[in-house]
Structure 1
Amino acid sequence: MDFFDYLKQKEREFLDQINSSNLKSKVEPQMQTLSDLISSSINKTWLSKISLFSDPAVTIGPENGILTCPKTKDFYSHWRRRIGEETYLGEWHLIDQDCIDRFADATGDKQWIHVDPVRAKTESPFKSTVAHGFLVLSLLPELCDVTRSQASLYPESKLIVNAGLNRVVFPHPVKVNSEIRARMKLKSIRPFKRSVEIVNDISIELKNSTRIACVVESVLRIYF
């Protein structure tokens, strides 16, 4: 390539940059308008269909002591009286190696302390494989019998939503072949327009041990 060809190449690159910049300045406002239109459409249609989960809170007091939904009112009145009480003690649930392995496959967490019994026996301080902390956490619906259709703690509910966790601690590992169960205490209850929010303190106990495997502050939204 001679000098003149080099200059022509640089000139083409420079013009391409200018054209690209001009195109960008013309396209960006149109793309922003399109984005605003899509967002507006979503907010007016799709999100409106799940407004159930954006239920506004209701203030309960002498001036506003009645909830509009009878089921919500009865539920709130019943459980408000039980704040501070133990509301549930579950059955023992076995955590065997198959359970641990299936959780490892589902999550991709295949660290040897969970899935390699031979290595864990010689190298782990626990001398056996241990369950993932998140495995214990994921078992809360079953350990607490919250969502079973026939034996639910809240049988009058239409829908139960896991609204989050305020706190999670794993004080002690769960060794393979251990049995665990949930002990639950009602911490607080809050009424909403079409639902009730419940906060439960949950302790996951280990059989034949005074140690606690997991401590959770769980938030549920109960719909009627």
Structure 2
Amino acid sequence: MVTINNFKEYKSFEGKTIGVSNWHQIDQEQIDKFADATLDRQWIHVDPERAKKEGPFGSTIAHGYLTLSLIPYLWKQIADVRNVKMEINYEIESFKFGQAVRVNSEVQLQATAKMISNLRGTVKAVIQAKLIIKGEEKPAYTGDVIFLYHFA
């Protein structure tokens, strides 16, 4: 994990990979809870028997939005941004899903600082987020998340 205390330190990562998170296993319980929370109970996510027999993946898969919702959790394992009065999840853009995440797969987030800018005291960080699936060549997704920080 890296520690970032101010704009200058954040800017030093621009164009570089900041780091990767720990591995996180997505199990059926997490998929089911996400399905309940979002009211998206499509069988490919919540019916293991049907998914095994009829689905193209041989098992259930995580919702795409479930994998996206892991970004804040996994990001906090990569960077400890300190001295912040307020942090805002500002935007996500240009996300492309490369492949499905099968149940019980392990994933980790790789974060690269694409652009760090100071907008009159507000730091805008454009972070390329790539969700890696253990044992797979293609990532689950790649796209940009944008955070705004108000440093103390």
TM-score by length of 1: 0.63
RMSD: 1.5
1:205 maps to 2:136 = no
Where does 1:165-176 land on structure 2 (aligned, <5 Å)?
Answer: 165-176=92-103
CA–CA distance in structure 1, aligned partners of residues 121 and 115 of structure 2? 17
Give the structure 1 partner of residue 44 of structure 2: 113
Amino acid of the residue matched to residue 199 of structure 1? V
Select the structure of larger CA radius of gyration. Answer: 1
SS of equivalent to 1:158:
strand
User: For residues 81 and 111 of structure 1, what CA distance do their matches in structure 2 show?
Assistant: 44
1:144 aligns with 2:63: no
Q: Give runs of aligned pairs for residues 40-51 of structure 1, distance below 5 A.
A: none
Q: Deviations along 1:32-89, whole A, 9 cap, x unmatched?
A: xxxxxxxxxxxxxxxxxxxxxxxxxxxxxxxxxxxxxxxxxx7222222321111121
* 2:86 match: 159
Secondary structure at 1:82's aligned position in 2? coil
Q: Is the 8 A contact 1:114 1:131 kept in 2?
A: yes
Are the counterparts in 2 of residues 205 and 213 from structure 1 also a CA contact under 8 Å? yes
Question: 1:152 Cα shift?
Answer: 4.8
| C-alpha contact 2:117 2:125 (8 A) present in aligned 1 | yes
Contact (CA 8 Å) 2:17, 2:110: kept in 1 or not?
A: yes
1:197 touches 1:222 (CA, 8 Å); kept in 2? yes
Higher relative contact order (CA 8 A, sep 6+): 2
Q: Distance in 1 between matches of 2:110 and 2:52?
A: 31
Report the alpha carbon displacement of residue 193 of structure 1 after superposing the two structures with TM: 2.4
Q: Does 1:75 align with 2:6?
A: yes
DSSP 3-state at the match of 1:83: coil
Distance, in Å, in 2 between the alignment partners of 1:134 and 1:210 is: 21
Q: Distance in 1 between matches of 2:105 and 2:12?
A: 35
Letter in 1 for 2:86: L
List alignment gaps of at least 5 residues for structure 2.
Answer: none
**Which residue pairs with 1:39 in the alignment?**
none
Q: Which has the higher strand share?
A: 2
Any conservation in 2 of the 1:180–1:206 contact (CA below 8 Å)? yes
Number of corresponding residues: 147
Instruction: State the distance in 2 between where 1:94 and 1:189 align.
Output: 31
Structure 2 equivalent of residue 32 of structure 1: none
Percent identity between matched residues is: 36
2:141 aligned with 1:214? yes
The structure that is helix-richer by fraction is 1
